[in-house]
């Protein structure tokens, strides 16, 4: 069984989407380690180490995603899990910015997949199947 | 069953308590120097005879003992991530009543393994990885311990997928390996009971003999357990009660010794600060922590170092020089008691610092986070603000007329508002030093132990 570490990054307290995603990933057959809301980069990484996770799923709903996610890949490299799969999604930036730009920005930060607002959980699950070679 | 005799073989004194089981009453109490270096029975008999003379009873139907002599149970805790499995291992070791010599995280280095060899732990608790999680690190650490040139007893309580292999690696190198359930089977889930149980078994099988307690073990009716484990049993019973009788609810107990300060907290219900989000591992409902750098005699120089002479002098109302001289004197002669007012004041100041720092380390804390929705709090550890009592025990507190002043340091303070220490707790005293004896009694007659504790600690005023 593949293990996913998930949570809402930064000082973000949006709890509903987190619960929906937890349910969707669990039903899709993953072992989900849900860290809930207000999760720091450090917590994601430590949980991933201890559980030998296959992917880190980051949510951000309050528009400060860029600030919160910056440097996360570097932290993973530093912690010895530099190759771990990382997905991010939600309302990553404030206002109506062009999503292609946002996607490029987060990919540049080292995220493997970046999702626009309104993406269905099924889309991320389909990508997981491909990326994890299932 | 009419009479019970309960002994606590400490590092300095052997304390014996006699109980009238039918009337749930303490009928005698005495102590004598611990004689573990020669024959532990000499000190035990001396104290027991004194008790028998005191209460005029010679036959006891139930005899039990606990011990923290010969250094107590000395352990090393090893995990993977410091805040996760290392923390879980540390909580398990402390709750089992052991003294923590050191704790380690990630892959052990050669230097760390040499350090462990030098510490000569009685038992090592090796954890790391959730079940199905990381196994690489615990396997590395098992190999590193296998290569360690001294005899070791290792309880393997990590990722279950790696347990068998870890045990094989250790046994092949002639170490004693004991498989055990994971202390953190899933992320954020603490399961320390199996590890506590294994620690207790190893203590009985190997440590009792190694520490020269086996001759006493043959004379008592039940297993000899580590004293702090007995105290935690008593605390748990007093807090939650039995099926028939209600307990007293949440409280904190502080035991300030010569070398260490132990803090116990028993909390019923959720210990969460209003609206806070809990981070890290949930701490056990009945928790013990032990601070090796906080104590009245052997560890008082550390307190001087942490607090500084100026602060201690101000707290005691004496000069900095008097603080330094007194601490030095008591450290060199741990058996001494204060002989004048200055020494008395310094002792109280050291006790206050030990209480404040140890309870702060034991308690949880909150960190404010400013979110777009306003201020929110993140909490780590247990919120003890609502506990009803602070119970003091241990030599300094019991014998000090200023015990209230010392124990008041366990309380919440505005200078340190994010530390979740007790807010409106009543300060009580285990005046007759019965907690360990009641822990022993509770293993056989919890109702009687509960009644005595309520009488002697809670309702004694």
pLDDT bracket for residue B258 (50, 70, 90): confident
Active-site residue, from A14, A64, A127, A131: A14
Q: Over the range B75-91, which residues count as b (16 or more CB within 10 Å of their CB) and which as e?
A: bbbbbbbebbbbbbbbb
Of A1, A46, A62, the CB nearest to B84: A46
ipTM: 0.87
Whether A50 and B85 lie within 8 Å, measured CB to CB: yes
Token pair for residue B21? 């089981």
Residues paired with B25 in a beta bridge: B20
- CA dist., res. B261 & res. B355, Å (int): 8
Give the pLDDT score at A97. 84
Residues paired with B262 in a beta bridge: B255, B290
Q: Which residue bears the tokens 């989900």?
A: A32
Contact criterion met (CB below 8 Å) for B106 and B236: no
Residues B36-62, mean pLDDT to the nearest whole number: 94
* Residue B269 pLDDT exceeds 90: no
Give the pLDDT score at B461. 58
Residues of A in contact with B83 (CB under 8 A): 46
Q: Which of B292, B342, B340, B334 is nearest to B317 (CA)?
A: B342
Cβ neighbourhood burial of A79 (10 Å; 0-12, 13-18, 19+): middle
Of B81, B135, B378, the CB nearest to A46: B81
A19: which residues sit within 8 A by CB, 6+ positions away? Answer: none
Percent composition of chain A: helix, strand, coil (DSSP 3-state, to 5): 45, 20, 35
* Whether residue A64 lies in the annotated active site: no
Chain A: residue whose CA lies nearest to B368 = A11
Give the pLDDT score at B450. 98
Q: Which residue bears the tokens 């294994």?
A: B198
CA distance B362 to chain A (A): 22
The structure's pTM equals: 0.93
Half-sphere exposure at residue B192, Cβ-oriented, CA atoms within 13 angstroms: 27
Phi, psi of B224, deg, nearest 5:
-80, 130
Residue B433's region, left for phi above 0, alpha for psi from -120 to 50, else beta, is left
A59: which residues sit within 8 A by CB, 6+ positions away? Answer: A6, A7, A8, A9, A12, A14, A17, A18, A21, A88, A89, A90
| pLDDT tens digits, B385-431 | 999 999 999 877 888 888 999 999 999 999 999 999 999 999 999 98
Domains of chain B with CATH codes: 1-71+211-223 (3.30.420.40), 74-207 (3.40.50.2300), 251-293+360-429 (no CATH)
* Whether residue A12 lies in the annotated active site: yes
CA distance B301 to chain A (A): 36
Sign of the torsion formed by the C-alpha atoms of B373, B374, B380 and B384: negative
Residues of B in contact with A12 (CB under 8 A): 371
Contact criterion met (CB below 8 Å) for B361 and B291: yes
Residues paired with B375 in a beta bridge: B370
Sign of the torsion formed by the C-alpha atoms of B250, B413, B342 and B330: positive
Residues paired with B426 in a beta bridge: B389
Where are the domains positioned within chain A?
Answer: 3-131
For chain B, how far is it from start to end, CA to CA, in angstroms?
Answer: 30
The matching CATH number, chosen from 3.40.630.30, 3.40.50.280, 3.30.200.20, 3.40.50.300, for A3-131 is 3.40.50.280
Residues B54-67, mean pLDDT to the nearest whole number: 94
Contact criterion met (CB below 8 Å) for A102 and A114: yes
Sign of the torsion formed by the C-alpha atoms of B359, B363, B369 and B374: negative
CA distance A46 to chain B (A): 6
Whether A50 and B378 lie within 8 Å, measured CB to CB: no
* Residue A129 pLDDT exceeds 80: yes
């Amino acid at each position: 069984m593949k293990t996913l570490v998930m949570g809402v990054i930064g000082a973000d307290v949006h709890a509903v989407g987190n619960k929906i995603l937890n349910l969707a990933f669990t039903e899709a057959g993953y072992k989900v380690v849900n860290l809930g809301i207000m999760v720091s980069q450090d917590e994601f990484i430590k949980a991933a180490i201890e559980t030998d996770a296959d992917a880190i799923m980051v949510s951000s709903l309050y528009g400060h995603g860029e600030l919160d996610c910056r440097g996360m890949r570097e932290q993973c490299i530093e912690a010895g899990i530099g190759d771990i799969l990382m997905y991010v999604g939600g309302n990553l930036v404030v206002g109506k910015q062009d999503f292609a730009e946002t996607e490029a920005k987060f990919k540049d930060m080292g995220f493997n997949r970046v999702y626009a607002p309104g993406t269905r959980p099924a889309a991320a699950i389909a990508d997981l199947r491909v990326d994890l070679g299932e | 069953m009419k009479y019970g005799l309960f002994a606590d073989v400490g590092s300095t004194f052997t304390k014996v308590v006699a109980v009238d089981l039918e009337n749930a009453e303490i009928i005698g109490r005495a102590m004598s120097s611990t004689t573990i270096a020669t024959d532990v029975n000499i000190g035990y008999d001396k104290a027991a005879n004194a008790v028998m003379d005191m209460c005029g009873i010679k036959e006891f139907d139930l005899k039990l003992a606990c011990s923290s002599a010969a250094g107590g149970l000395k352990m090393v805790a090893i995990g993977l991530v410091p805040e996760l499995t290392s923390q879980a291992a540390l909580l398990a070791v402390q709750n089992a009543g052991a003294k923590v010599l050191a704790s380690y995280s990630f892959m052990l280095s050669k230097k760390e393994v040499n350090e462990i060899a030098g510490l000569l732990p009685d038992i090592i608790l090796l954890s790391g990885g959730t079940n199905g999680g990381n196994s690489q690190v615990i396997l590395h650490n098992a190999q590193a311990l296998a290569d360690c040139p001294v005899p070791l007893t290792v309880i393997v309580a990590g990722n279950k997928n790696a347990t068998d292999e870890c045990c094989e690696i250790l046994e092949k190198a002639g170490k004693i390996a004991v498989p055990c359930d994971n202390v953190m089977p899933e992320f954020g889930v603490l399961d320390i009971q199996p590890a506590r149980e294994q620690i207790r078994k190893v203590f009985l099988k190997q440590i009792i003999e190694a520490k020269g307690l086996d001759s006493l073990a043959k004379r008592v009716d039940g297993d000899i357990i580590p004293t702090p484990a007995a105290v935690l049993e008593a605390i748990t019973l007093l807090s939650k009660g039995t099926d028939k009788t209600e307990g007293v609810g949440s409280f904190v107990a502080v035991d300030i010794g010569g070398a260490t300060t132990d803090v116990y907290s028993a909390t019923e219900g959720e210990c969460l600060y209003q609206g806070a989000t809990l981070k890290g591992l949930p701490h056990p409902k009945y928790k013990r922590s032990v601070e090796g750098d906080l104590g009245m005699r052997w560890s008082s120089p550390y307190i001087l170092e942490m607090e500084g002479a100026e602060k201690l002098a101000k707290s005691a109302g004496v000069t900095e020089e008097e603080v330094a001289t007194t601490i030095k004197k008591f450290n060199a002669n741990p058996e001494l008691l204060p002989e004048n007012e200055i020494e008395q004041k310094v002792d109280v100041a050291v006790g206050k610092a030990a209480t404040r720092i140890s309870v702060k380390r034991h308690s949880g804390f909150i960190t404010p986070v400013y979110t777009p929705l306003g201020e929110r709090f993140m909490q780590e550890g247990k919120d003890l603000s609502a506990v009803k009592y602070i119970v003091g025990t241990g030599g300094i507190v019991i014998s000090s007329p200023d015990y209230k002043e010392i124990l008041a340091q366990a309380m919440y303070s505005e200078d340190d508002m994010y530390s979740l220490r007790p807010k409106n707790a009543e300060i009580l005293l285990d005046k007759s030093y019965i907690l360990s004896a009641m822990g022993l009694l509770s293993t056989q007659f919890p109702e009687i132990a509960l009644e005595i504790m309520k009488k002697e600690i809670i309702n004694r005023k």
